[in-house]
Structure 1
Amino acid sequence: MIRTLLLGASLLLSTLAPSAATTIGDDGLHKEDWFAITFRDVAEDIETAREQGKRLVMIFEQRGCIYCTAMHEKLLSDPEVADYIKANFMVVQYNMFGDEEVTDLDGGTLTEKTAARKWGYVFTPTIVFLPEEAPEDMTVSEAAVATMPGAFGKWTFLNMFRWVHEKGYEGEEHFQKYHARIINELREQGRLDVE
């Protein structure tokens, strides 16, 4: 009986705990060991990502954000999601209320919190997808090819990364149409019951 209770408690705790690759930083944010640590010069980060054959993604989070926690524990811990992102994107984390210095694409120097305000990002997590090459005289919010504010389920989350990687924003198929098509394909393959 006691052994069964201990096993049950252990299983419950293991489902609630962050993945082994996730830690909590001094700023209270979850840290994936594959997130890039940079000087937060956005043009430089776009170039670095391009040199790696990837795209730059910025993720705005905040301490105590339950949706950010869910993103790390349910989405970024899923090997299908994490492997796809790691293979195709360089991810840089931003603290919505942080004081780290940021250099915008227009050359302006800000803190993370003033950058979030300038760019109009008010939800956490907010995921910002940048173009393959750094444009001049634009802000991050003007240059972004897509922005995903808030938390979503696995397939919406993963499909947004796929849509950007496939440059869906350049075509005629809106993300919502793309997502619906992928969901239907997954259902036909028997990989999805509900989404």
Structure 2
Amino acid sequence: MNKQGGWNMMKKIITLLILLASPLLFAASETAQLDTGLVNPGYHDKPEWFKESFLDISEDIEGATDAGKRVMLYFYQDGCPYCAKLLHDNFGNRDIADKTQKYFDVIAINMWGDREVSGLDGEATTEKAFSQSLKVQFTPTLLFLDESGKVLVRLNGYLHPHQFDVVLDYVAQRKEGQMSVRDYVASINPQAASGKLHMEPGFIQSPVNLAALDKEKPVLLLLEQKTCAACDELHQDILQRKAVRKSLEQLQVVLLDIWSEEKITGFDGVETTSRKLAEQLGVHYAPSMLYFVAGKEAFRTEGYLRAFHVHGGMDYVLGDAYIEQPEFQRYLQDRRAEFEARGIHVDLWE
């Protein structure tokens, strides 16, 4: 190993030791507590599953290749509203987040940052200089790299989730040898989400006070977001089915936007916001369906589900089956067998 290589390895070891000794170090550097006066109001937390990279891009590509993945470089800047939309609307979608984690190592690079980056040529530079060398002029900018470091797809700016999801498929499925990304997107013709929350007359209306709800009747907390095709399908199809509707009407239904700053009162009687409550409950994806009994969470489902599972979740709580049978999957198996015995065929994807 040459002197430069030895020094790079030593820096990585030192960095790793610092991380192990102080897990909060990096978070504190960008999101210091309010009483220090150092808060960066434009900083947006990134998903915890983003790769914690030493910013040696060649090594990152090698590691991703060994894992059967590809590298996605995410260039951002603090205070960028479109970066916030990417993190919230796109990576806040369970299907997109799961797909991204499965097929990509996402590496975040601050286009104005001073952290050291080792580029594809092995030369040491800074985040800012590295961004400039790649002609990054907008945020977010996403570069999808192949196994040799070649840029397969470049996204200058924000794409809506339905479009972004198709680009993920294009790179993940290695379609670049068959057609251009533009032709692939055109062939799929993805449909946009409605861009609205589906508030219904029977739902608890604003201002929401969870502490004031009937303690004798279970609460269904629907945590969603506006750019969510699965949320659209849930409300426009599944929740409109007669059998599902019958169970839904036995619940107190509260619909909240997981990114909204609208003030609400929590189950504990303390004023908070929809966004803070979602964070407190550990909800990062939409749609999520959380069931509460007497103010305590009894059960939840997250992500994309079809009618049998959605309806099963409701009856699992309404019939107190969650107390007797703690395994929801076993409950569903028994429920399906019961339906089949009565001559009712269950199509899990209907």
| 1:70 correspondence with 2:74 | no
Shift in Å, 1:185: 8.9
For residue 58 of structure 2, what is the aligned residue in structure 1?
43
Q: Distance in 2 between matches of 1:34 and 1:24?
A: 18
SS of the residue 1:49 aligns to? helix
SS of the residue 2:183 aligns to? helix
Q: Distance in 2 between matches of 1:109 and 1:29?
A: 27
Q: After superposition, what is the alpha-carbon deviation per residue over 1:53-74, rounded to whole angstroms, capped at 9, x for unaligned?
A: 2111110000000000011111
Amino acid in the other structure paired with 1:107:
G
SS of the residue 1:115 aligns to? helix
Amino acid in the other structure paired with 1:168:
K
Q: Distance in 2 between matches of 1:106 and 1:77?
A: 34
Q: Distance in 1 between matches of 2:139 and 2:29?
A: 17
Q: 1:129 aligns with which of 144, 147, 167?
A: 144
SS of the residue 1:60 aligns to? strand
Shift in Å, 1:112: 0.3
Q: Distance in 1 between matches of 2:97 and 2:47?
A: 10
For residue 175 of structure 2, what is the aligned residue in structure 1?
168
Q: Distance in 2 between matches of 1:67 and 1:88?
A: 23
The within-5 A match list for 1:109-120 is 109-120=124-135
Q: Share of identical aligned residues, percent?
A: 30
| 1:181 correspondence with 2:187 | yes
Q: After superposition, what is the alpha-carbon deviation per residue over 1:143-172, rounded to whole angstroms, capped at 9, x for unaligned?
A: 21111110011121111111111222222x
Shift in Å, 1:92: 0.6
For residue 322 of structure 2, what is the aligned residue in structure 1?
none
- Provide TM-score, normalisation by structure 1: 0.74
Q: Distance in 1 between matches of 2:181 and 2:94?
A: 23
Q: Structure 1 residues 122 and 185, CA, compared in 2 at 3 Å: closer, same or farther?
A: closer
Shift in Å, 1:96: 0.7
For residue 26 of structure 1, what is the aligned residue in structure 2?
30
Amino acid in the other structure paired with 1:181:
S
For residue 288 of structure 2, what is the aligned residue in structure 1?
none
Amino acid in the other structure paired with 2:161:
K
For residue 90 of structure 1, what is the aligned residue in structure 2?
105
Amino acid in the other structure paired with 2:136:
Y
Amino acid in the other structure paired with 2:180:
H
- Residue pair 1:126, 1:149 contacting (<8 A) in 2 also: yes
| 1:53 correspondence with 2:68 | yes
For residue 146 of structure 1, what is the aligned residue in structure 2?
153
Structure 1 spans left out of the alignment, 5+ residues: 1-22, 135-142
Output the aligned Cα RMSD: 2.4
Q: Which has the higher contact order (CA 8 A, sep 6+)?
A: 1
Q: Structure 1 residues 164 and 70, CA, compared in 2 at 3 Å: closer, same or farther?
A: same
SS of the residue 1:31 aligns to? coil
- Residue pair 2:75, 2:109 contacting (<8 A) in 1 also: yes
Q: Distance in 2 between matches of 1:168 and 1:149?
A: 20
Q: Distance in 2 between matches of 1:75 and 1:119?
A: 24
